[in-house]
Each structure stands twice: as structure tokens, then as C-alpha cells.
């Protein structure tokens, strides 16, 4: 382990900047910008990092809301990243009752996980490590990435394909806990699986080719001809056809999922004209790449048949294709030792009072200790691994999805999970409403302890990796062994997107817009 003096400096930096970290988190939480549209959030990070002395490439990888920031020279390069996208349909104010954020439509975006805390904790960690490096003359380089659109698993496969991670010697990936299965721990073996997503665009470019009735009419008009089915029908048929065929895609094992989102439909206000344009996005998660390929095959076949049925042509565009995560035990244990030294988050009476207010407003009896026990205690990587394995079939090596997995194929990467304020259920099977979860992520007394514990752990782990050559060597050796020789090795999985991949920023993603009515969610506030 590294010199404790340098690590104490990093930890003390977090303590002395607790107020700033809280304010920074509130800033990002208040912006609540969704995937691919985090313009102001990304700009805030770029400005902050430049003020801290980092060299920053804004718009890295061709993504307007991404960035790549570096500081230092000589020695190893240690990486980490921020996420900052919010989730449409989850608008909630930081109050202990259901209340959408004022000034936007009630189904605007809100931070759920929350990525606002993820990003600020990671930023706090690298700034804490930087402070220790400056004070103690530690040589090394920090590479801090801005990763937009995690909710579509969008940016990391693009950064990976374009080589942004290839010069990093080790990396720390952080996420606030999202359940009691794994909290205050690091992931040992069962990392996230693959997430693929694509968009099918249906266009009715030549509706006149559909109907033969024009041959029996002297007036070939919309009132005397059978209307082509068009793009709306194509979208509806794609939706229903895929629902019917979903049961036949894969066996009912492996916790795989397939979901859809409608990005555009119709845009025709004349009821007797064929809708020309519609788009539907599919996203699917599975533990293996073979399963992902099978789902993609069925979707493509469905789209081709639907297009033929509706007088449309179909175009497919990939949004993302991630790889399953690769473990690194050496780094998982190193980071967990630092988490154990820092300790689990502790919530004070102000936080507990807020939790009790939520319970009371839901008609529940407020609890003396309303925070779930798993969020207040440490759990070793081995304990959490055993918890997860009990839920999965023996063959399944990966579970759920997140695009941090693309980092793991380019550098040894640890996945740190820190507990966040989660309410104890009043009885087995009870689920709190989403608004309560979101409010807890925005209220400073309930989210700040998570940010501070994560920042301290990240900072201390970076210091270890820069000052203990044997620790970094062990992580690198394991990476080489698991990949069969590192990047390009015999067991290495290459990026699934090409190096010249164009980021999918031009689609109709939910966003905030400015019109003559003012600045609002893409659904007007009064709608």
C-alpha cells in the first residue's frame, strides 16, 4: 500500500472541499440534461477542469457533450470519468413529497442513479489525488473522461474504438449503489454484460406506388386512391411484430431484456396522406455477445418484412454495441481496502429526518433508522459476489449492463460501488415510488455522504497506483493474462464499433429547446 501520508492528503482534500463538492453536485443535478444533450453539464466540467489546470479536449470522439482532460506528466497514467446524463420521465424536485421540477413538463428528465453524484464524486477523487501528487511530489498523469449518454450506453464504446483508453495504465469506475445486492464494495467477477442499441427509420418516399386504384380514376388524388400504409403503420407493425417474436428470440434464461423507444412518428397533420417518416429505437441487454447477435438478427428480419408490408424503406443505424465486462481482482481488492479504510457512508439527523418525512408523506410509520442497512455497512467483494451468484445460473458470467465495460478491455479497471441513501421498506415486497428515490439523490444531506466516500476512495486508490509499483504491476499482469497478451491479445475482444463510427447525435433524442415560448422540455410545459 502507498505512503499513508499522501493518501491522508487526498482524503483531507475531500473533507476540506465538502461544501464545494455539494454545490457542484447541486449544479449538475439542477441542469438535469438527458443523454446526448448534456450541453451545459459538459461545459461546466470543461470550465471546472481547465480552472484546475487540466488540458481539456472538448467534444472528444466527435461527441459534442464529451471531453478528455489530462493533467501531469511522467509516471503511470490513471483514468477515471464523469457521467452527467439524466433520465426522461423522472422529473422530481428535492422535496420529501411528489413534486416535478418547476418550469418544465412533469415528464422532463431527472437524475435517478444519480449520475450527478457519480460525476462529481469521480471529479472529487481525481482532484484529491492531484492535490496529493502536488504536495508530495508524486509523478504521474491523470486522464479524466467526460462520458455522456450512459443511459444509451453511448460514449464509452466510441471513445474505446477511437483509442482514448489505450494509454491508460489503470482506471477507477464508480457508481452509486442501485440496490441492496451490491453496496459499499467493489465488483469481483460478475461485471455488467453487453448492451446493444439501434434505430430503425421507416420512410414512405413513394406512396404513389402503393395503390392501383389510380388506374380506374380520371383524378389521381388522395380522395380517390387507397392510401399507402406509410411510416406510422411500419412503426406500429415493427412494435407489435417484435413483441410477438420476442418470446422466440432466446431461451428464458440469462436475465436478458429487450426494450424500445419511439423517437419519431408521422409528423403529418393531414389525415388522408401517408405518414412519410417514423423511427423506433431498440435496446437489448444480455450476458453474452452470441445472445446479442441473435436478438439483432430477429430485429433486422422483422424490420425488412415490415417495410415490405407498408410501402416504406428501412434504414438501420447503430447507437451502441458494448462488450461484457472483464474482471481484475488485483484492482478490486486494492480499491476495496481503501474503501474499508474510509468507511461506509454515514447519514446525519438532517438526512434521517428527510427520509422520515418521505415515509410519513407516503402514509407509512416513520422509522427510527429509515436507511437500508446494506447502505450503511461494508460488504467485501467476495460477499457481494456470492450474493449475486445465488441469483444467476452457473453459466452466466455477466449481469445487467453499463458501458464502463468497454474500459475494462483497454486497461485494468475496478468497479467501485458506494451506498446511497435508500429507504428501508416497511414490509417485504414493498417498493417506494420513483419520485422518492430521485428526491433522495438531489437532497444534499442524503446524497453528499455517498459523494464524499466515493471521492476519498478514488483519490486514495489513485495515490496507491502511482506510488506502489507492485500494486500497478499486479493489476497489469492480471489484465495481460485475462486478455491473452493485453490489447490485441489472443483472448482480447476488440471494440464492436469501427474507429470511424459517427456518434448518433443527430437523432430526435429528448432534450430542452428554446422557442418563442422560452426554454422548456421538448414537450411544452403546458401540454
Mean pLDDT (whole number) for 50-71: 98
CATH hierarchy code of domain 195-321: 3.30.70.360
Other CB atoms within a 10 A radius of the CB of residue 353 amount to: 13
| Predicted local distance difference test score (pLDDT) of residue 1 | 41
pLDDT at 526: 73
Q: Residue 524: pLDDT above 90?
A: no
Instruction: Give residue limits of the domains in the chain.
Output: 4-192+324-483, 195-321
* Cβ-proximal residues to 12 (8 Å cutoff; 6+ apart), any chain: none
Question: Is 90 exceeded by the pLDDT of residue 519?
Answer: no
pLDDT single digits (tens) 369-419? 999 999 999 999 999 999 999 999 999 999 999 999 999 999 999 999 999
Res 213 pLDDT > 60: no
Q: pLDDT band for 272, please (50, 70, 90 cuts).
A: confident
CA distance 447 to 440: 7
Helix (H, G, I), strand (E, B) or coil at 193: strand
pLDDT of amino acid 216? 53
- State the average pLDDT over residues 154-174: 98
The whole model's pTM is what?
Answer: 0.96
Give the pLDDT confidence of 112-156 residue by residue, as tens digits: 999 999 999 999 999 999 999 999 999 999 999 999 999 999 999
pLDDT attached to residue 111: 97
pLDDT for 212 equals 56
Sign of CA dihedral 311, 312, 313, 319: negative
**What proportion of the chain, given as a percentage, has pLDDT over 70?**
96
Q: Distance between CA atoms of 124 and 126, rounded to whole angstroms?
A: 6
Judge residue 271's burial from the number of C-beta atoms within 10 Å of its C-beta, 0-12 exposed, 13-18 middle, 19 or more buried. exposed
Q: Give residue 223's pLDDT.
A: 61
- The residues, ordered by sequence, that sit 6+ positions from 14 with a Cβ below 8 Å of its Cβ are 21, 124, 125, 128, 452, 455, 456, 459
Rounded distance, CA 21 to CA 23, Å?
5
Average pLDDT, the chain: 95
d(CA 247, CA 251): 8
- Give the three-state DSSP class for 267: coil
d(CA 106, CA 520): 11
* pLDDT tens by residue, 65-94: 999 999 999 999 999 999 999 999 999 999
Q: What is the CA radius of gyration of the chain?
A: 25
Residue 169 bridge partners (DSSP): none
Q: Which residues contact 54 (CB under 8 A, 6 or more apart)?
A: 69, 70, 71, 142, 144
- Name residues whose C-beta falls within 8 Å of residue 320's C-beta, 6 or more positions apart in sequence: 152, 153, 154, 157, 158, 195, 196, 197, 403, 497, 504
Decide if domain 4-192+324-483 falls under CATH 3.40.630.10: yes
Picking from 96, 103, 98, the residue whose alpha carbon sits closest to that of residue 32 is 103
| Averaged pLDDT, 414-433 | 97
Per-residue pLDDT tens over the stretch 471-493: 999 999 999 999 999 999 999 99
Query: Span 300-329, mean pLDDT?
Result: 98
Amino acid at each position: 500500500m502507498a505512503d499513508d501520508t499522501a493518501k491522508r492528503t487526498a482524503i483531507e482534500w475531500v473533507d476540506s472541499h465538502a461544501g464545494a463538492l455539494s454545490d457542484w453536485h447541486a449544479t449538475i443535478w439542477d441542469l438535469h440534461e438527458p443523454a446526448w444533450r448534456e450541453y451545459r453539464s459538459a461545459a461546466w466540467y470543461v470550465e471546472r477542469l481547465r480552472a484546475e489546470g487540466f488540458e481539456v479536449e472538448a467534444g472528444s470522439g466527435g461527441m459534442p457533450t464529451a471531453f478528455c482532460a489530462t493533467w501531469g506528466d511522467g509516471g503511470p497514467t490513471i483514468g477515471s470519468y464523469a457521467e452527467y446524463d439524466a433520465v426522461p420521465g423522472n422529473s422530481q424536485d428535492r422535496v420529501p413529497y411528489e413534486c416535478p421540477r418547476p418550469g418544465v413538463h412533469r415528464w422532463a428528465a431527472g437524475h435517478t442513479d444519480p449520475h450527478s453524484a457519480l460525476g462529481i464524486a469521480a471529479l472529487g477523487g481525481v482532484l484529491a489525488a492531484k492535490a496529493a501528487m502536488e504536495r508530495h511530489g508524486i509523478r504521474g498523469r491523470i486522464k479524466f473522461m467526460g462520458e455522456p449518454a450512459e443511459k444509451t450506453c453511448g460514449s464509452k464504446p466510441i471513445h474505446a474504438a477511437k483509442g482514448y483508453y489505450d494509454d491508460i495504465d489503470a482506471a477507477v469506475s464508480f457508481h452509486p449503489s442501485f440496490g441492496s445486492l451490491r453496496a459499499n464494495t467493489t465488483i469481483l467477477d460478475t461485471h455488467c454484460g453487453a448492451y446493444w442499441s439501434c434505430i430503425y427509420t421507416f420512410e414512405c418516399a413513394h406512396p404513389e406506388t402503393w395503390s392501383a386504384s389510380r388506374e380506374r380514376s380520371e383524378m389521381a388524388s388522395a380522395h380517390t386512391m387507397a392510401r399507402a400504409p406509410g411510416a406510422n403503420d411500419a412503426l406500429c407493425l415493427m412494435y407489435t411484430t417484435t413483441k410477438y417474436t420476442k418470446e422466440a428470440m432466446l431461451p428464458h434464461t440469462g436475465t436478458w431484456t429487450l426494450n424500445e423507444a419511439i423517437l419519431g412518428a408521422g409528423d403529418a397533420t393531414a389525415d388522408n396522406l401517408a405518414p412519410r417518416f417514423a423511427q423506433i429505437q431498440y435496446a437489448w441487454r444480455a450476458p453474452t455477445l452470441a445472445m446479442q447477435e441473435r436478438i439483432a438478427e430477429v430485429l433486422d428480419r422483422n424490420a425488412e418484412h415490415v417495410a415490405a408490408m407498408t410501402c416504406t424503406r428501412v434504414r438501420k443505424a447503430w447507437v451502441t454495441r458494448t462488450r461484457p465486462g472483464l474482471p481484475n481482482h488485483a484492482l478490486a481488492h486494492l480499491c476495496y481496502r481503501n474503501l474499508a479504510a474510509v468507511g461506509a457512508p454515514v447519514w446525519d439527523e438532517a438526512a434521517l429526518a428527510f427520509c422520515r418525512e418521505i415515509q410519513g408523506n407516503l402514509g407509512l410509520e416513520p422509522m427510527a433508522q429509515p436507511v437500508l442497512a446494506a447502505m450503511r455497512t461494508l460488504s467485501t467483494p467476495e460477499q457481494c459476489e456470492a450474493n449475486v451468484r445465488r441469483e444467476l445460473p452457473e453459466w452466466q458470467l455477466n449481469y445487467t449492463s453499463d458501458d464502463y465495460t468497454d474500459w475494462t478491455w483497454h486497461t485494468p479497471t475496478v468497479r467501485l460501488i458506494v451506498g446511497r441513501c435508500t429507504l428501508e421498506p416497511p414490509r417485504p415486497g414493498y417498493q417506494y415510488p420513483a419520485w422518492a428515490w430521485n428526491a433522495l439523490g438531489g437532497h444534499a444531506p442524503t446524497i453528499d455522504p455517498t459523494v464524499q466516500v466515493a471521492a476519498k476512495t478514488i483519490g486514495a486508490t489513485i495515490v496507491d497506483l502511482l506510488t506502489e509499483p507492485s500494486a500497478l504491476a499486479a493489476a497489469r499482469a492480471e489484465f495481460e493474462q485475462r486478455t491473452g497478451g493485453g490489447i490485441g491479445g489472443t483472448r482480447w475482444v476488440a471494440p464492436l464499433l469501427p474507429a470511424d463510427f459517427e456518434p448518433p447525435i443527430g437523432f430526435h433524442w429528448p432534450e430542452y429547446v428554446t422557442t418563442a415560448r422560452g426554454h422548456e422540455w421538448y414537450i411544452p410545459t403546458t401540454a
